[in-house]
Amino acid sequence: MPRDPRTFITLHDGMPEHHKIEALSDKSFRALVDLWCWCSRNTTDGDVPESVWLKRTTPKVRAELMAGLAEPRPAGVYMHDYLEHQRSKAEIEELRNKRARAGSLGGKRSAASRARDAQIDAEGEANA
């Protein structure tokens, strides 16, 4: 079965009890996870453009997240400590390249194996 090509974010099992997280409303908690996922999927290293920030949050959610989980930037926000817990763009690209090389190598080995099998079958039919 092929490997899942999607990226993943990391959450530790104590995260919901962290004092900054416990203070969030359900809507803000969901927005936080959604923004972390968006950053990973778009390989932004934690930067969220203002257009995305405004689209995915409400004024109340923004206020809650700005209390230690998001930091203002000139063109949007930065998800606090994002790179301490999540893969960077460079790490994601390295992983994708590694998987692509492994897939290519596996395909070459598979083709060589099929060619050997076909040759053995052909030799067997010729000798029969």
Give the model confidence (pLDDT) of 24-81 as tens digits: 999 999 999 999 999 999 999 999 999 999 999 999 999 999 999 999 999 999 999 9
Query: Residue 86: which residues within 8 A CB-CB, separation 6 or more?
Result: 9, 10, 36, 39, 40, 46
* Proportion of the chain above pLDDT 90, given as a percent: 66
CA 105 – CA 116 distance, rounded (Å): 17
- For residues 92 and 10, the answer to whether their CB atoms sit within 8 Å is no
Query: Residue 83: which residues within 8 A CB-CB, separation 6 or more?
Result: 45, 46
